[in-house]
A and B are shown apart, each in its own frame.
Chain A
Amino acid sequence: MMRVSDLAIVRGGVPLLAGLSFAVEPGSALILRGPNGIGKTTLLRTLAGLQPPAAGQIEVPEDSVAYASHADGIKGQLSVVENLNFWARVYGMADVTDAVLERFALQDLRARAAATLSAGQKRRLGLARLAVIGRKILLLDEPTVSLDTASVGRFASFLQDHLDAGGSAVIATHIDLGFTATVLELAPYKLDAPALTASDFDEAFL
């Protein structure tokens, strides 16, 4: 479904990772592991198409990827349902259903302005976005931050259902979500500077 070959990524002119190759099949999840600063977020942003890869290829079916960053992009003045409906409409999907709200334990908060939600509730709202936009490949950057144990369980069961339905996910996380997934350790791909000479790097100045 998603095929990555010989990928190299940079952040702010500094090369981070190189030689990454992996594939994510339908129904499977890939978990990215590695210490802070190794480039998990940069890798996810590159996969999401927000920044160009320094080298290598990313093959994904068109209009199949959804990205969830650290920030949830929630508008405080809009209610929970309005926030979700906005995203559903942007992706050309039907409005949010009660089932989705219940799944993320948002049914009692549906008319609340998002500004009045707690950090964990906001995060649940941000994750519920993934359920209404109908994308197959989810790119998740630390999705469980500020969630309590029960909420983590809810999210894990949502992900499990997503995978069972033929979806897939690439997740940067440190906690065990409790389902089977391939783990990709990023440390071996870390670039010991100055391995790259491509012209797009500051290395061109050396």
Chain B
Amino acid sequence: MIALLRRDLALAVRAGGGFGLALVFFLIVVTLVPFAVGPGQVQLAAIAPGILWLGALLACLLSLDRILALDYEDGALELIATAPLPLEAVAAVKALAHWLTTGLPLVLVAPVLGILLNLPGPGYLWVVVSLAIGTPALSAIGTFGAALTVGLKRGGLLLSLIVLPLYVPTLIFGAEVARRGALGQPLETPLMLLAGITLASVALLPFASAAALRVNLR
């Protein structure tokens, strides 16, 4: 499992691995928002937490089809499936690798982009906290979507169609934490619910992902 994680991380950071693409995408989305809604500082401050969450979510989505498709195409996934690794662990490691190479950088860069959107002072902490807690769920759910669509030729769009509705609760609670944090309101309840969704997704979804992988490798 460690070997698989190290290999996935190495593949992500080497040439052609696509590391950083999600970050650039995040930056571009955040840059485009003021063009669309106007440069008013008050207006931007009001929507900043939501935009940061939505941007991070879309950036995450963008890189989902790489989680499993590359290994499927070159036959590595079949060989990994016959190796002495439980597929549940493979799915969990893949989600972890995706989070480390996509989710975590997004969390770290979010406060910098918050400046562009005039995020209110207390918001910085809570945007980072909510993204740090919420993005693992996005990776776990995304890995499940990738496992469902791995055998398909044009799975990319379908993957988004399947994954986005599943992202709804995470987005609602995550953005709510960030919004309330920015306004200085109490945010314990959505924070707990967000953490609950992440823990449950990370713990349970690898089983569903493994089931889908088994079907797709048949």
Chain A in direct contact with chain B (Cβ < 8 angstroms): yes
Judge if A72 is at the interface, Cβ distance under 8 Å. yes
Query: Which residue of chain A has its CB nearest to the CB of B70?
Result: A75
- Decide: A90 near B74, CB < 8 A? Known: A51-B218, A78-B10: no
Q: Is B40 an interface residue (CB 8 A)?
A: no
Q: Which residues of chain A come closer than 8 Å to B84, judged between CB atoms?
A: 63, 90-92
Bound state CA distance, A48 and B14, in angstroms? 32
Which residues A117-142 have CB closer than 8 A to chain B?
129, 133
- CB-CB under 8 A from B82, the residues of chain A are 48-50, 65-67
User: Interface residue tally of chain B, by bracket?
Assistant: 20 to 34
CB distance A86 to B7 under 8 Å? yes
Name the distance in Å between A124's Cβ and chain B's nearest Cβ.
Answer: 16
Complex CA–CA separation, A142 to B79 (angstroms): 15
Q: Are A69 and B78 in contact (CB under 8 A)?
A: yes
B37 on interface, CB distance cutoff 8 Å: no
Question: Does residue B81 face the partner (Cβ distance < 8 Å to A)?
Answer: yes
List A residues 18-56 near B (Cβ within 8 Å): 48-52
A70 within 8 A of B: yes
Asked if residues B81 and A72 are in contact (CB atoms below 8 Å), the reply is: no
Q: How far is the CB of B71 from chain A (nearest CB, A)?
A: 8
Min C-beta distance of A184 to chain B, whole Å: 21
Out of B14, B75, B218, which one reaches A77, CB within 8 Å? B14
A72 contacts B10, CB within 8 Å? no
Pick the contact of B74 from A65, A66, A75, A92 — CB < 8 Å? A75
Distance of A65 from chain B, by nearest CB (Å) = 7
What 0/1 readout, one digit per residue, does chain A (61-96) give for beta carbons within 8 Å of chain B? Answer: 001011111111111111000100011011110000
Interface residue ranges of B10-36 to A (CB < 8 Å): 10-11, 14-17
Residue interface mask B63-89, A partner, CB < 8 A = 1: 000000001001111111111110000
Q: How far is the CA of A66 from the CA of B84 in the complex (A)?
A: 10
Chain A residues with CB below 8 A from B3, complex form: 86, 89-90
What residue in chain B is nearest A92 (Cβ atoms)? B84
Tell whether A73 pairs with B10 under 8 Å between CB atoms, given A51-B218, A90-B3: no
B91 to chain A, nearest CB (A): 15
Q: Which of B15, B17, B79, B83 has the most CB of A within 10 A?
A: B79
Q: How far is the CA of A92 from the CA of B17 in the complex (A)?
A: 26
> Which one of B11, B81, B83 has the greatest number of beta carbons of chain A within 10 Å?
B83
B203 interface residue per 8 A CB criterion: no
Closest to B14 in A: A77
Residues of B within 8 A of A133 (CB): 83
Our pick among B4, B11, B75, B218 for the contact of A73 (Cβ within 8 Å) is B75
Residues from chain A with a CB closer than 8 A to the CB of B158 are none
Of B2, B7, B81, the contact of A75 (CB 8 Å cutoff): B7
Known contacts A49-B82, A63-B84, A75-B11; A90 and B75 CB within 8 A of each other: no
Q: Are B79 and A73 in contact (CB under 8 A)?
A: yes
A183 to B191, CA, bound (A): 64
CA distance A50 to B87 in the complex (A): 12
Residue of A nearest to B17 (CB): A77
CA distance A43 to B149 in the complex (A): 25
**Can you list 17 A-B contacts with CB-CB less than 8 angstroms, sorted by A residue number?**
A49-B82, A67-B82, A68-B79, A69-B75, A71-B74, A71-B78, A73-B75, A73-B79, A75-B74, A75-B76, A77-B17, A78-B10, A86-B3, A89-B2, A90-B3, A92-B84, A133-B83
Task: Give the 5 A-B residue pairs with the shortest CB-CB distance, closest first.
Answer: A71-B75, A73-B76, A89-B3, A51-B218, A73-B75
The interface of chain B, by Cβ under 8 A from chain A, is 2-4, 7, 10-11, 14-17, 71, 74-85, 217-218
Other A-B pairs beyond A52-B218, A87-B83, 20, CB < 8 Å: A48-B82, A49-B82, A65-B82, A67-B78, A69-B75, A71-B76, A76-B16, A77-B11, A77-B14, A77-B15, A86-B4, A86-B7, A87-B79, A89-B2, A90-B80, A90-B83, A90-B84, A91-B83, A91-B84, A129-B79
